[in-house]
């Protein structure tokens, strides 16, 4: 029997993996991929809650609309973020987060 | 959906997710993430969210990951490969992930509303059909199929048309921003 808690647990673990990746990795591109993973984990909780909260016998489409908007914003964010990474690479010749220390006191 | 499939796709999502973090080569990370997102799309479809599942594959596994791979190939990153792992950071990250997972597990252990099974929560097409206002949606519901994309589109354009326009504007702003960021400065080229 698959319950709502099972889906939420999978989403929680996926979020934890993404969080660990953001902390551990030093390649900006991989950090970005881990951020995407965390966003998707949040989407999974939204879709799970939408399916288990029936409105007139159908899944709650308000939650799925929110997922639609999240995916759109994430796509725009990736495009801008990768353009920033390319600009950073041009300036520093590296994608290592430790090569960017200008704001460090 | 049989529980075997749930566990299979959950395992695919999580194991390839670990692969993203563990792989040393960024291309391997990106390909792991594609597999992870495909598993996640299967989980979405198991929750009767066919449209979102399709969107996950088209937008994430397709467009976004191709963009990532394109940038990885374009920058040709090799310098970061041979460096030794920083064990202090690795242990810290692992500890953080384990603590977060334990916390989620404890919260879910006390979440009684979450113990309801998917099989006990069947979709009721007749109830939806009686509330539907569009004939195409009503007909498909009467046939016993869930017109997921149509219901989703109806919700988006009926309830959230303003938000949809705002997101469109955001995409436009994103496009303009990317062009501005990637344009080489004229003065920089001269010097």
- Decide if B140 is inside a domain: yes
- Decide if B174 is inside a domain: yes
Residue B189: the pLDDT is: 59
- Decide if B41 is inside a domain: no
- Decide if B167 is inside a domain: yes
Read off the pLDDT of each residue in B145-151 and give the average, rounded to a whole number. 87
Query: Per the structure block, which two tokens stand in for A79?
Result: 């495009």
- Decide if B6 is inside a domain: no
Count up the domains in chain B and report the number. 1
Residue B7: the pLDDT is: 94
Residues 40-69 (A) with a CB less than 8 A from some CB of B:
40, 43-44, 47-48, 50-52, 54, 56-59, 61-62, 64-65, 67-69
Residue B186: the pLDDT is: 66
- pLDDT > 60? residue B79: no
Tell me the domain boundaries of chain A: 4-95
Q: How many other CB atoms are found less than 10 A from the CB of residue B11?
A: 12
CB atoms B92 and A23 under 8 Å: yes
CA A63 vs. chain centroid, Å, equals 17
- pLDDT > 70? residue B187: no
Q: Is domain A4-95 classified as CATH 3.10.20.30?
A: no
Residue A30: the pLDDT is: 92
CA B183 vs. chain centroid, Å, equals 30
- Decide if B160 is inside a domain: yes
Nearest to B40 by CA among A29, A71, A54: A71
**Range of B167's domain?**
123-183
Q: Annotate B130-170 with three-state secondary structure.
A: HHCCCHHHHHHHHCCCCCHHHHHHHHHHHHCHHHHHHHHHH
Read off the pLDDT of each residue in B140-159 and give the average, rounded to a whole number. 88
Residue B80: the pLDDT is: 54
- Decide if B144 is inside a domain: yes
Q: What is the pTM of this model?
A: 0.91
CB atoms A54 and B108 under 8 Å: no
Contact of B176 with chain A, judged by CB distance below 8 Å, is answered with no
- Decide if B156 is inside a domain: yes
pLDDT band for position B83 (50/70/90)? low
d(CA B186, CA B191): 9
Question: For residues B5 and B46, is the Cβ–Cβ distance under 8 A?
Answer: yes
Contact of A92 with chain B, judged by CB distance below 8 Å, is answered with no
Residue B82: the pLDDT is: 60
Residue A67: the pLDDT is: 95
Alpha-carbon dihedral of residues A72, A23, B28, A85, nearest 10 degrees? 60
* Residue the block writes with tokens 């252990």: B109
Residue A100: the pLDDT is: 82
Read off the pLDDT of each residue in A93-104 and give the average, rounded to a whole number. 82
By Cβ distance, the residue of A40, A44, A82 closest to B71 is A82
Question: For residues B26 and A21, is the Cβ–Cβ distance under 8 A?
Answer: no
- Condensed to tens digits (0 to 9), the pLDDT of residues A5-64 reads 999 999 999 999 999 999 998 889 999 999 999 999 999 999 999 999 888 888 899 999
Read off the pLDDT of each residue in B109-129 and give the average, rounded to a whole number. 83
- pLDDT > 80? residue B56: yes
ipTM: 0.92
What are the chain B neighbours of A24 within 8 Å (beta carbons)? 21, 89-90, 92-94
- pLDDT > 70? residue B188: no
């Amino acid at each position: 029997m698959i319950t709502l808690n099972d889906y939420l647990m999978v989403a929680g673990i996926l979020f934890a993996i993404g969080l660990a990746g953001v902390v551990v990795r030093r390649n900006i591109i991989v950090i970005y991929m881990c951020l995407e993973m965390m966003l998707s984990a949040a989407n999974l909780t939204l879709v799970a809650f939408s399916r288990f909260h029936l409105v007139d016998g159908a899944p709650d489409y308000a939650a799925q609309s929110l997922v639609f908007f999240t995916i759109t914003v994430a796509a725009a964010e990736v495009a801008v973020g990768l353009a920033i990474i390319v600009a950073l690479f041009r300036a520093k010749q590296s994608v290592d987060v430790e090569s960017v220390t200008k704001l460090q006191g | 959906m049989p529980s075997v499939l749930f566990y299979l796709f959950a395992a695919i999502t999580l194991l390839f997710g670990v692969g993203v973090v563990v792989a040393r080569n960024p291309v391997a990370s990106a390909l792991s993430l594609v597999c992870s997102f495909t598993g996640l799309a299967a989980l979405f479809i198991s929750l009767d969210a066919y449209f979102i599942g399709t969107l996950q594959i088209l937008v994430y596994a397709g467009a976004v990951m191709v963009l990532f791979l394109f940038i990885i190939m374009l920058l040709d990153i090799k310098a970061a490969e041979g460096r030794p792992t920083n064990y202090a950071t690795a242990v810290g990250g692992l500890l953080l992930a384990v603590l977060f997972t334990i916390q989620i597990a404890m919260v879910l252990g006390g979440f009684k509303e979450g113990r309801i099974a998917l099989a006990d929560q069947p979709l009721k097409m007749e109830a939806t059909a009686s509330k539907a206002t569009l004939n195409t949606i009503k007909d498909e519901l009467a046939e016993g199929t869930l017109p997921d994309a149509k219901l989703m589109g109806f919700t988006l354009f009926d309830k959230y048309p303003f938000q949809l326009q705002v997101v469109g504007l955001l995409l436009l702003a994103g496009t303009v921003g990317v062009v501005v960021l990637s344009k080489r400065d004229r003065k920089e080229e001269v010097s």
